[in-house]
Amino acid sequence: MQANAKNDDLVASLRQSERFEVYLEALENTDVLAEIEGTGPFTIFAPTDEAFARMPRDKRDILFGPGHVAELKKLLRYHIVPGRIPKDEAGQASHVQALTQQIYIERKDGQLMANEVNVVVPAMHTSNGILYGIDEVLVPHYQNLFLPGAP
């Protein structure tokens, strides 16, 4: 796969990468996939499969369980920002509005981060946006209330 191929869209890049199978499956199980297919531009901070594996199993089971499609959709949309945020501008953006609420983008010691979560897959520029891979699942503050073990 050419990581910066402009002819690929975000969904094709997610599929070709093979590092975002869980995120892609979740997008397919909600109508969020249709939101990012062929439209945009968007910047996606997509959790890797390893990020989902690190999520506590009880929280993952609830999130992906029956009856929680609305919560899953909100969580997925929290990783998607309208517009393109190139790497060189990402540390300057600070608070940006995702599709559900704001996330904080910063650069710490040269490391690009979203809500203090590391970007571990470099930017993939596509025809309809930019894809970054992150090493944790971003959970919106309001969603902590329904997940077990929340404060």
In this prediction, residue 109 carries a pLDDT of 84
Q: What is the dihedral of CA 50, 52, 56, 60, to 10 degrees?
A: -150
Does the pLDDT at position 108 exceed 50?
yes
Q: Give the pLDDT band of residue 92 (cuts 50, 70, 90).
A: low
Q: Taking the model in full, what pTM does it have?
A: 0.88
Residue 17 to residues 8, 13, 145: CA-CA distances in angstroms? 12, 6, 32
CATH numbers and ranges of domains, the chain: 10-85+121-134 (2.30.180.10)
Does the pLDDT at position 106 exceed 70?
yes
Does the pLDDT at position 149 exceed 70?
no
